[in-house]
Structure 1
């Protein structure tokens, strides 16, 4: 499975998804709206932030290990410096599918974390945002998808 589209489809076919990098401060992290989008679309979705146990009324877990369900995939919305720690925890738990949020700017992408994924057989989507794919897709995310695709930024 090599193409961006194949990886996205595989990720979105997962049932239990953790979103690492949600924030207590609403509006400061892309993780919060991504978490909400997955939740509204009917996924079993779990928030991860080590500094709180509740965000906007939903349980938040300090790490992936503490989630009481088998996680199929992890959406990484952390600072890029933290991404390596997330993928290392994924390896420990046998989670083999991750997505690094990256649209305009650096996002959560980390070359070190992506290389770790390659060496450890973790399927990694290196760019984009699930809000460009999980319906209904808003106009802004349609524009971002078009632009990133036009400039060849949605390739793995």
Structure 2
């Protein structure tokens, strides 16, 4: 009986060890499965965040390029306007010079010559002031129109990042 009781005792011990081992393996497997699932879930979340951030970055870059193209287009249009003003000025100056030459050539006396010259100088001075004001206005308008898309992008960027940091 003693052998039987030792055998039963050993079998009981082995069964107990087996049960504990199986319980430990089951618990470990469940924990590993849970950790794996959490890891997959976390990876999915981070991947979704990365994709969203990449999309935001791509959109941001595209909007910046669009703003630069709009600014370039506005600057080109302004340059064309200013160029046409200079062309008109050149034509007007030529016609004015021809007219002045004819008027000065028609003078009969030195006093008449100097009177015509004074009137021409006064007219040219007033034309120069008007032209300077007109060109200043065109340059201001050109700068404002060319910078408007860039300023809008800067404002949008500041607003976006200030929300991100808030």
TM-score range, shorter chain: under 0.3
Higher strand share: 1
Rg larger in 1 or in 2?
2
TM-score normalised over the length of structure 2: 0.16
TM-score normalised over the length of structure 1: 0.17
Higher helix share: 2
- Structure possessing the higher relative contact order (Cα contacts under 8 Å, 6 or more residues apart): 2
